[in-house]
Amino acid sequence: MARGRKPIPKTQKEISKSLQEPFVPPVGSPGFSPTGNPNNDGKLNRAEQTSFRDDTVKPLSIGIQDIDESVMYYFQNVIKPFVIQNGERLPVPIIYGSPEKWKSYQKDGYYRDLNGKIMAPLIMFKKNSIEKVRNLTNKLDGNAASNIEVYGKRYSKQNEYSKFNILNNVKREETYYATVVPDYVNITYDCVIFTYYNDQLNKIMEALEFASDSYWGDPERFKFRATISTLTPTTELSDNTERIVKCALSITLYGYIIPDIPQKDLMNIRKFSNKNKLTFTLETVSGDQELFDVTTQQASTQKGGLSQIIDSPNITNITTGGSVDTATLIYLNTNKALQAVSTTINTALFNGAFLTAPSGLPATDTPSFTFYINGQLVEPNAIVNFVDNGNGTCEVFFDPNNLGFTLVGTDEIVAIGKFA
C-alpha cells in the first residue's frame, strides 16, 4: 500500500495571510491598488530590489545590545563617576551584571573579585524588564511589515558635489533608504553602587540624579532618553560582617528595536533613487530629429490621482533642424487630456474630436490615446475600440473581462492623446 504524502504544516506567514480580509476602497478612490490586499498577489517586483554592494550605508537595525551599550557608554564617557580616597581621585569601574555576578551580589550583599576581596567603589547594572509601548507607531504585521520610514543621502561617490553641475543646472540623483518603523519599548535596568564611605556614595548619586531625564548613548550611534525616579541608599554594619555602603536604583530607557531579521526586509523597498532627468529623441517621417527634455521630481512613492497624471511631467520641446512642416510638429506635440462626460458598464463618452493626422503620418486611431480609470492606467488589451462619432464627440469601448470590472457612473475616466 502506497504511503500517503506527509502533511506540511503552514508557516506563520501563510496562516496570517489566510486570516486577512482585503480592504475594498470606495469607488473612485485614487491611490489604491485594484488587486485588493497586496500581500496576496504573490509577486515580487525585482525593480525594487536594489543592491547594497559598495554602499557605505547598511540596512538599519537596532538591537537590545545597542541599548545596553548606550548605558555603558554614558556611564564611562559622560558621567565618568569617581571617588576621592586617600587624597587620590579614583575612577569608579562599571560592569554589566551577568547572572553569575548578580547572583554573587544577591548572596553576599556585595561583589568580590577572584581573590575574595570586596570590589569597591563599583557600579554594576543589569537589564530587568522590557515593556512594549503600544500607543506609538506600529509596523502593522510582523510577517509583512508595510509601515516604513524613509531617510535620504544627498551625496555619494557616484553623485559628488560639483560647482560645474550647479552652473549647468544638473540635478543630482538622491538615494533614499527605507526601513520598517521600530517597536518602541521601555527597558528597565537595576543598578547598584558600592562605595566605602557615605560621602563617596553621595557624589555618585548626585552625578546620576543630574544625568536623569537626558538622552544616553553614543552621539555617533543611537541615543535613548533615560529616567531615574528613586535612589535608595543603604548602610549596613553588623557583627562579624563587612561594612556595606551601597545604593540601589532603577534606570528606565525609552528605546526602540529594529531587529536584523529577514521578515523586516521581505516585503519592503530597502533602497531607491529619485527620478532625475530623461532625454529622448523622436524621429519624424522626414528624417529630422526633435529633442524632448523631460524633467520630473519624485515627491512620493505612492500612486497619485488624476492631477498627478495630467500635470506631473513638464516637457520642453527643443526642435533641431528642420524641413518638417509646422502642421506635422503641432500634431506630434499634441497630447491633450479629456475627461469622460458619461459612462455605461463598458463605454465612456468624451466631448471632443480626433485631431486629423497630416499627410504621411498614420491616421489617428485607438493607439494614439492612453486611458486612465480612477488614476490607474488601462492596459491596451482592455480597450476594444475608440471611435470619433463625427458630431464633436468620441466614444471608447472597454472589454470588462480584460478590465476586470464593469464601469459605474462615478468612475473618473481620462483619455490623453491627439484631440482637436
Query: What residue numbers bound the domain in which 247 lies?
Result: 64-133+182-257
Average pLDDT of the segment spanning 251-273: 75
In this prediction, residue 404 carries a pLDDT of: 83
Q: How confident is the model at residue 261 (pLDDT cuts 50, 70, 90)?
A: confident
d(CA 26, CA 39) in angstroms, rounded, equals 20
Same structural domain, 292 and 207: no
| Helix, strand, coil percent content, the chain, rounded in steps of 5 | 20, 35, 45
Cβ atoms of 294 and 281 within 8 Å: the answer is no
Q: Is the peptide bond before 121 cis (omega within 30 degrees of 0)?
A: yes
Write out the three cell numbers for 410.
Answer: 462615478
Cβ atoms of 194 and 111 within 8 Å: the answer is yes
Report yes or no on 202 lying in a domain.
Answer: yes
Write out the three cell numbers for 165.
Answer: 553641475
d(CA 348, CA 345) in angstroms, rounded, equals 9
- Residues in Cβ contact with 45 at an 8 Å cutoff, skipping those fewer than 6 apart: none
Q: Which of 257, 290, 305 is the last residue of a domain?
A: 257
CATH number of domain containing 122: 3.30.2000.40
Same structural domain, 250 and 299: no
Same structural domain, 330 and 407: yes
Same structural domain, 345 and 396: yes
Report yes or no on 40 lying in a domain.
Answer: no
Q: Where are the beta strands (DSSP E) in 109-182?
A: 122-132, 148-153, 175-180
Report yes or no on 107 lying in a domain.
Answer: yes
Q: Is 120 exposed, middle or buried (0-12, 13-18, 19+ CB in 10 A)?
A: buried
pLDDT tens per residue across span 120-167: 788 888 888 999 988 887 776 677 666 777 777 776 666 677 777 667
Please state, in angstroms and as integers, the Cα–Cα distance from residue 77 to each residue in 207, 211, 216, 219, following that order. 13, 12, 10, 11
d(CA 121, CA 246) in angstroms, rounded, equals 9
More confident of the two residues 334 and 42 = 334
Prediction pTM value: 0.49
Cβ atoms of 290 and 330 within 8 Å: the answer is no
Same structural domain, 235 and 96: yes
In this prediction, residue 117 carries a pLDDT of: 60
d(CA 56, CA 78) in angstroms, rounded, equals 28
More confident of the two residues 288 and 4 = 4
- Residues in Cβ contact with 313 at an 8 Å cutoff, skipping those fewer than 6 apart: 294, 295, 296
The number of domains in the chain is 2
Same structural domain, 233 and 340: no
Report yes or no on 144 lying in a domain.
Answer: no
Cα 406–chain centre separation: 35
Q: Which of 207, 222, 257 is the last residue of a domain?
A: 257
Report yes or no on 306 lying in a domain.
Answer: yes
Average pLDDT of the segment spanning 386-393: 89
Q: How confident is the model at residue 282 (pLDDT cuts 50, 70, 90)?
A: low
Same structural domain, 252 and 279: no
In this prediction, residue 33 carries a pLDDT of: 53
Please state, in angstroms and as integers, the Cα–Cα distance from residue 100 to each residue in 104, 106, 109, 142, 339, following that order. 6, 10, 14, 35, 75
Q: What is the DSSP string of 196-249?
A: SSHHHHHHHHHHHHHHTTEEEE-TTS-EEEEEEEEEEEEEE--TTS--EEEEEE
Write out the three cell numbers for 43.
Answer: 509577486
Q: Which of 192, 225, 257 is the last residue of a domain?
A: 257
In this prediction, residue 369 carries a pLDDT of: 92
Write out the three cell numbers for 39.
Answer: 500581500
In this prediction, residue 241 carries a pLDDT of: 60
Same structural domain, 241 and 284: no
User: What residues does 93 pair with on adjacent strands?
Assistant: none
Q: How confident is the model at residue 235 (pLDDT cuts 50, 70, 90)?
A: confident
Q: Closest Cα to residue 50, out of 270, 274, 260, 298?
A: 270
d(CA 133, CA 131) in angstroms, rounded, equals 6
**Longest CA span, the chain:** 115
Average pLDDT of the segment spanning 285-294: 49
Report yes or no on 293 lying in a domain.
Answer: yes
d(CA 144, CA 16) in angstroms, rounded, equals 9
More confident of the two residues 57 and 344 = 344
Same structural domain, 231 and 101: yes
Q: Say whether 85 sits in a helix, a strand or coil.
A: strand
d(CA 43, CA 5) in angstroms, rounded, equals 28
Same structural domain, 294 and 247: no
Report yes or no on 172 lying in a domain.
Answer: no
Q: Say whether 381 sits in a helix, a strand or coil.
A: helix
Length of the chain in terms of residues written: 420
Q: Closest Cα to residue 417, out of 359, 314, 336?
A: 336
Report yes or no on 3 lying in a domain.
Answer: no
Same structural domain, 361 and 285: yes
Q: Number of helices (H) and strands (E), helices first, in the chain?
A: 9, 22
Same structural domain, 247 and 314: no
pLDDT tens per residue across span 65-98: 889 999 999 999 999 988 888 888 888 888 888 7
pLDDT at 396 over 90: yes
The two beta strands, 369-373 and 94-96, are: unpaired
Q: What is the DSSP string of 305-345?
A: -HHHHHHS-EEEEEE-S----HHHHHHHH--EEEE-SEE-S
Cβ atoms of 94 and 193 within 8 Å: the answer is no
